[in-house]
């Protein structure tokens, strides 16, 4: 963050300074357990916790009431944080690259950040950490930028119409990508058409000198060309940036040929799953829009290593059992992609497949149908064993019973872990996946720790 005194911050956000006029030279943060020296603690009042109660020892605070530390007091600290981020961004010479979509945002963001860091240098790139993509996460990411930042890579999420417009007011993008319109959070939006309406706000925010990067294979995304003043660059099997000759290795990591205009270049990814091709192609399109050469982008994609936890993490135990930990989040589309990756890894070695699947949240009226569809996908793909975790995911069992595989229903994480430990062996590949609230990463980690761990991807 560029250094700012609290008096200047108060002027920017329309607040009142209480206490000493100290200078903030480190980024803002909201978790008092991980304070930043010389940083700005943003005190947010939540349903269970009031950040103001944890301000002791902070260098400076942005809050809605005075604290023991020097504090800029405002009516709404979250809105003030957004105004501060926009003020800082306006003082920097930075290209903002933003992306949204129902799934694949974090994977694409990680690929793009890796490519830009490889081609422009680590210090030149600031990117969203994990999936901090909301009205708090976006300005916090912006405030990590400083005078040396050239590229700001932002993942933007939305829970309804108007959310992306708000985030784009904080950080107006020059390059904006819509990856897909799926079923994630369909319960909050009220349908895929509403999701498309909300996601399209990103390309509506682009100026005539910007570039809208759109998925040519998703009709709802492709239709967004009419909603932007920016230039259009598409990706997909029929897009401007496209791929061919996809082949998976023994760990399900794809290799392919990436093409753009009259050129092509080979890519071999280090992440597991055929869906990684789409994520990598979207990231490539954004990097090409930023002016980098295809050959350089392809090379950097092949060097990119996983940056976010619990997303297609592949671990092989010393006894040979392979665990795919994709437990960070889930919706019907990402579940299907993970199941396809599971089958791809297992087929390469002629091994048995075990899918440990939990609840997908935020599906609204589609909850039951969505879970049954995932079970049917597992049956269609020939998954050998489906282990369903918890009553909320029981629809998966219903759908999976349409196939010939074995279906095991467990009451919760402990029972699911015990079943896998007792029944899975060295010739098996185990996928663990559910929505974040199900916390199935503890299942994956327990399975790994039941043998001597040897990380392979």
Alpha carbons 399 and 420: distance in angstroms, whole number: 21
Q: Are residues 265 and 411 in the same domain?
A: no
What does the pLDDT average to over 246-270? 95
**CATH number of domain containing 325:** 3.90.190.20
In a domain, 80, yes or no: no
Q: Which residue has the tokens 């998976």?
A: 248
Its domain, for residue 420, covers 313-455
In a domain, 81, yes or no: no
Residue 190, pLDDT > 70, answer: no
User: Domain total for the chain?
Assistant: 3
pTM: predicted TM-score of the whole model, two decimal places: 0.86
Q: Are residues 167 and 230 in the same domain?
A: yes
Question: Could you report the per-residue pLDDT of 54-109, keeping only the tens digit for each?
Answer: 999 999 999 999 999 999 999 999 999 999 999 999 999 999 999 999 889 999 99
Q: Are residues 103 and 180 in the same domain?
A: yes
Q: What share of the chain is helix, strand, coil (3-state, %, to 5)?
A: 40, 25, 40
pLDDT of residue 250: 86
Alpha carbons 104 and 176: distance in angstroms, whole number: 14
Q: Are residues 164 and 295 in the same domain?
A: yes
Residue 454, pLDDT > 50, answer: no
Residue 118, pLDDT > 90, answer: yes
Q: Are residues 37 and 122 in the same domain?
A: no
Residue 185, pLDDT > 80, answer: no
Helix (H) / strand (E) element for 345: namely: helix 332-349
For the ranges 273-277, 283-287, 303-307, the one whose mean pLDDT is highest:
283-287
In a domain, 308, yes or no: no
Alpha carbons 99 and 18: distance in angstroms, whole number: 38
pLDDT of residue 47: 87
What does the pLDDT average to over 383-410? 94
**CATH number of domain containing 42:** 3.40.1390.10
Residue 449, pLDDT > 80, answer: yes
* CA 234 to each of CA 135, 180, 223, 231, 325: distance values in angstroms, whole numbers, following the listed order: 28, 12, 12, 10, 31
What does the pLDDT average to over 36-50? 94
Q: Are residues 246 and 101 in the same domain?
A: yes
Question: Could you report the per-residue pLDDT of 339-369, keeping only the tens digit for each?
Answer: 999 999 998 778 999 999 999 998 988 999 9
In a domain, 151, yes or no: yes
pLDDT of residue 405: 87
Choosing from 245, 272, 303, the residue where a domain stops is: 303
Choosing from 74, 100, 135, the residue where a domain stops is: 74
In a domain, 366, yes or no: yes
Q: Are residues 322 and 259 in the same domain?
A: no
Token pair recorded at residue 53: 């109660």
Q: Are residues 285 and 348 in the same domain?
A: no
3-state secondary structure of 412: coil
pLDDT of residue 6: 98
pLDDT of residue 308: 79
Question: Could you report the per-residue pLDDT of 120-158, keeping only the tens digit for each?
Answer: 999 999 999 988 999 999 999 999 999 999 999 999 998
pLDDT of residue 131: 80
In a domain, 84, yes or no: no
Cross-sheet strand order for the sheet of 211-215: 125-127, 151-155, 95-100, 175-178, 211-215, 231-235, 241-248, 254-260, 263-268
- Work out the end-to-end distance of the chain between its first and last CA atoms, rounded to an integer number of angstroms: 34
Q: Average model confidence (pLDDT) for the chain?
A: 94
Choosing from 30, 46, 74, the residue where a domain stops is: 74
Q: Are residues 279 and 409 in the same domain?
A: no
Q: Are residues 182 and 265 in the same domain?
A: yes
**CATH number of domain containing 264:** 3.40.1190.10
φ, ψ dihedrals at 439, nearest 5°: 55, 45
Alpha carbons 129 and 155: distance in angstroms, whole number: 9
In a domain, 82, yes or no: no
pLDDT of residue 207: 97
Q: Are residues 185 and 331 in the same domain?
A: no
Q: Are residues 262 and 397 in the same domain?
A: no
In a domain, 85, yes or no: no
* CA 366 to each of CA 1, 197, 330: distance values in angstroms, whole numbers, following the listed order: 43, 19, 14
């Amino acid at each position: 963050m560029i250094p700012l005194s609290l008096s200047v911050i108060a002027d920017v956000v329309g607040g009142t300074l209480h206490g000493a006029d100290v200078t903030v030279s480190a980024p803002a943060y909201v978790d008092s357990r991980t304070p930043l020296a010389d940083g700005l603690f943003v005190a947010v009042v939540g349903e269970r916790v009031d950040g103001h109660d944890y301000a002791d020892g902070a260098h400076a605070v942005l809050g809605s009431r005075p604290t023991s530390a020097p504090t800029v007091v405002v009516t709404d600290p979250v809105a003030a944080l957004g105004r501060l981020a926009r003020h800082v961004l306006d003082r920097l010479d930075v290209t903002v690259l933003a992306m949204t979509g129902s799934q694949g945002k974090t994977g694409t963001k990680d690929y793009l950040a890796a490519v830009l860091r490889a081609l422009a240098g680590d210090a030149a790139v600031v990117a969203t950490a994990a999936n901090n993509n909301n009205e708090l996460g976006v300005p916090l990411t912006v405030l990590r930028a400083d005078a040396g930042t050239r590229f700001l890579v932002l993942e933007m999420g939305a829970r309804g119409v108007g959310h992306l417009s708000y985030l784009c007011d904080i950080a107006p993008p020059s390059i904006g990508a819509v990856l897909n319109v799926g079923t994630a959070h369909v319960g909050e939006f009220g349908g895929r058409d509403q999701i498309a309406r909300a996601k399209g706000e990103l390309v509506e925010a682009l100026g005539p000198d910007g570039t809208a990067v759109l998925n040519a294979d998703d009709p709802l995304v492709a239709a967004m060309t009419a909603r932007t003043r920016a230039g259009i660059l598409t990706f997909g099997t029929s897009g401007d940036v496209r791929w061919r000759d996809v082949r998976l290795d023994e760990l399900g990591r794809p290799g392919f040929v990436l093409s753009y205009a009259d050129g092509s270049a080979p890519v071999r990814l280090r992440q597991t799953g055929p869906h990684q091709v789409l994520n990598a192609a979207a990231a490539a399109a954004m990097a090409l829009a930023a002016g980098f050469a295809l050959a350089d982008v392809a090379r950097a994609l092949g060097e990119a290593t996983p940056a976010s936890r619990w997303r297609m993490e592949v671990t092989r135990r010393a006894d040979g059992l392979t665990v795919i930990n994709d437990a960070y989040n889930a919706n019907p589309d990402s579940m299907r992609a993970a199941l396809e990756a599971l089958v791809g890894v297992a087929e390469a070695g002629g091994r048995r497949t075990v899918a440990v699947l939990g609840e997908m949240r935020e599906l609204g009226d589609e909850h039951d149908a969505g879970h049954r569809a995932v079970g049917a996908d597992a049956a269609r793909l020939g998954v050998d064993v489906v282990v369903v975790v918890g009553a909320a995911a029981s629809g998966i069992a219903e759908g999976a019973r349409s196939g010939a595989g074995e279906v095991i229903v467990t009451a919760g994480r402990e029972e699911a872990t015990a079943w896998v430990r007792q029944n899975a062996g060295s010739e098996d590949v185990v996928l663990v996946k559910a929505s974040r609230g199900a916390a199935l990463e503890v299942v994956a980690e327990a399975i790994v720790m039941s043998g001597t761990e040897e990380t392979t991807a």
